[in-house]
């Protein structure tokens, strides 16, 4: 039996190289080894205000990017969260087993609460319970994510354990799978802040669909420091972040990279980094154009993905409802 992998991505903002290097790249690389399910989490997206037409088109864009990056719709199940009603239904049941105090400790929620007090909805507060439902519906073994999602996967385990202790063995306990390098790619304009899809500043992130000109401009403008030695030093967050991106795209070792730029300055390094990113994204971008030439094709792949995932989700939900005494 292959281990089950489940992960998700929000169809909001622009998918960037942080999403790619920490998550999507691993989803692609491991899909033959694992039984993989990938979810475009539109119900999570509406925990913050969204423009309806933009959300609809982003769902297709993210799907197109996943397929273009190499997710094989025959090997992996790729679907849209709202297409399988069991996600919302299990969330409600889990809500009733999740102490408020656990949710109040979630750092992502606390940050968002600070940033936009009045706008914060009950849905945003409940975001981790929906994520727990996503994961637990599919008897998931492994959840490949970036570092920022670790706490949510840990909460999922806690909720599952609590439910299991009341009703007996029901949910499998999932493990987060977080890459050693690149699990937290930082913003180019501010290397003390995580690269984020929702950040509006144009120099913040390299998006997977950025043109070569945009990539060159963003990398050349990326914040570094006043030193000039190109070296992996975590105390110099700007150049360190760029070096990690270079390392992940080239697969070269750190000593090899440092030797390559020995005696050269940041400008030389940045120029080469920009070309490395452009070369790596080029095939993905051209496959994206092929996949999206006919929008009904993406829709049909997503419908097929949902029809393969739905029976798994419904089976778990039926077991849970029965245990709780519903219906």
| Min separation Cβ 270 and ligand TYM, Å | 19
Q: How many residues bind ligand TYM (CB under 6 A)?
A: 24
Binding to ligand TYM, residues 161-220 (CB under 6 A): 183-185, 194-195
Question: Which residue minimizes CB distance to ligand TYM?
Answer: 146
| Min separation Cβ 198 and ligand TYM, Å | 9
DSSP codes of every residue in 174-228: PEEE--SSSSSPBPSS-TTSB--TT---TTS--BTT--HHHHHHHHHH----S--
Q: Using CB under 6 A as the criterion, what x/- string covers residues 84-123 for binding ligand TYM?
A: ----------------------------------------
Binding to ligand TYM, residues 22-41 (CB under 6 A): 22-23, 41
Q: Return the number of the residue (14 or 224) whose C-beta is nearest ligand TYM.
A: 14
Q: Using CB under 6 A as the criterion, what x/- string covers residues 119-148 for binding ligand TYM?
A: ------------x--xx-------x-xx-x
- Is 194 noted as a catalytic residue in this protein? yes
Nearest to 135 by CA among 7, 250, 47, 271: 7
**Is 14 one of the binding residues for ligand TYM (CB under 6 A)?**
no
Q: Return the number of the residue (73 or 174) whose C-beta is nearest ligand TYM.
A: 174
**Is 19 one of the binding residues for ligand TYM (CB under 6 A)?**
yes
Give the Å distances, CA to CA, from 31 to 14, 135, 146.
24, 17, 17
How far is it, in rounded angstroms, from Cα 115 to Cα 199? Answer: 12
| Min separation Cβ 223 and ligand TYM, Å | 15
Tokens read off for 85: 């009603």
| Min separation Cβ 321 and ligand TYM, Å | 21
Q: Using CB under 6 A as the criterion, what x/- string covers residues 263-292 for binding ligand TYM?
A: ------------------------------
Q: Return the number of the residue (155 or 261) whose C-beta is nearest ligand TYM.
A: 155
Surface-to-core class of residue 55, CB atoms within 10 Å of its CB (0-12 exposed, 13-18 middle, 19+ buried): middle
| Min separation Cβ 44 and ligand TYM, Å | 5
- The continuous run of DSSP H or E covering 9 comes out as strand 4-9
**Is 315 one of the binding residues for ligand TYM (CB under 6 A)?**
no
Q: Quick one: how far is CA 97 from the chain centroid? A: 26
Sign of CA dihedral 269, 272, 277, 280: negative
Q: 194, 264, 321, 323: which one is catalytic?
A: 194
- The continuous run of DSSP H or E covering 307 comes out as helix 295-324
Q: 58, 197, 218, 270: which one is catalytic?
A: 197
Q: Return the number of the residue (44 or 270) whose C-beta is nearest ligand TYM.
A: 44
Q: Return the number of the residue (94 or 135) whose C-beta is nearest ligand TYM.
A: 135
How far is it, in rounded angstroms, from Cα 306 to Cα 247? Answer: 36
Evaluate whether 269 touches 242 at the Cβ level (below 8 Å): yes
**Is 10 one of the binding residues for ligand TYM (CB under 6 A)?**
yes
How far is it, in rounded angstroms, from Cα 293 to Cα 276? Answer: 27
Tokens read off for 75: 């090997």
| Min separation Cβ 240 and ligand TYM, Å | 14
Contacts of 263 (CB under 8 A, 6+ apart): none
Evaluate whether 213 touches 244 at the Cβ level (below 8 Å): no
How many CA atoms lie less than 13 Å away from 326 in the CB half-sphere? Answer: 11
Task: List residues near ligand TYM by CB under 6 A.
Answer: 6-10, 18-19, 22-23, 41, 44, 131, 134-135, 143, 145-146, 148-149, 183-185, 194-195
Q: Which residues are catalytic?
A: 112, 194, 197
């Amino acid at each position: 039996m292959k281990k089950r992998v489940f992960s998700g991505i929000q169809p909001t903002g622009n998918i960037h190289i942080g999403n790619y290097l920490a998550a999507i790249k691993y989803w692609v690389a491991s899909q033959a080894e694992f039984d993989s399910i990938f979810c475009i989490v539109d119900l999570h997206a509406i925990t913050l205000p969204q423009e309806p037409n933009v959300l609809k088109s982003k769902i297709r864009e993210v799907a197109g990017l996943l397929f273009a990056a190499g997710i094989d719709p025959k090997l992996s199940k790729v679907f849209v969260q709202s297409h399988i009603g069991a996600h919302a239904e299990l969330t409600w049941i889990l809500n009733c087993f999740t102490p408020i105090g656990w949710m109040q400790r979630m750092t992502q929620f606390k940050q968002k609460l600070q940033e936009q007090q009045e706008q914060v909805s009950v849905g945003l507060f409940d975001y981790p319970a929906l994520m727990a439902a996503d994961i637990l519906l599919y008897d998931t073994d492994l959840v490949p994510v970036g570092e920022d999602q670790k706490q949510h996967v840990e909460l999922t385990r806690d909720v599952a354990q609590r439910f299991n202790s009341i009703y007996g063995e029901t949910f499998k306990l999932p493990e987060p799978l977080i890459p050693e390098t690149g699990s937290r790619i930082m913003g180019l304009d501010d290397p003390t802040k995580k690269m984020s899809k929702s950040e509006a500043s144009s120099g913040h992130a390299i998006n997977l669909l950025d043109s070569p000109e945009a990539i060159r401009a963003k990398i050349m403008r990326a914040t570094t420091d006043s030193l000039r030695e190109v070296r992996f030093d975590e105390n110099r967050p700007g150049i360190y972040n760029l070096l990690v991106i270079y390392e992940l795209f080239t697969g070269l070792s750190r000593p090899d990279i440092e030797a390559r730029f020995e005696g050269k300055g940041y400008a030389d390094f940045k120029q080469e980094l920009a070309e490395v990113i452009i070369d790596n994204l080029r095939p993905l971008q051209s496959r994206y154009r092929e996949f999206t030439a006919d929008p009904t094709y993406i829709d049909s792949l997503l419908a097929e993905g949902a029809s393969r995932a739905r029976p798994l989700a419904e089976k778990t939900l039926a077991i849970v409802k029965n245990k709780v005494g519903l219906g």
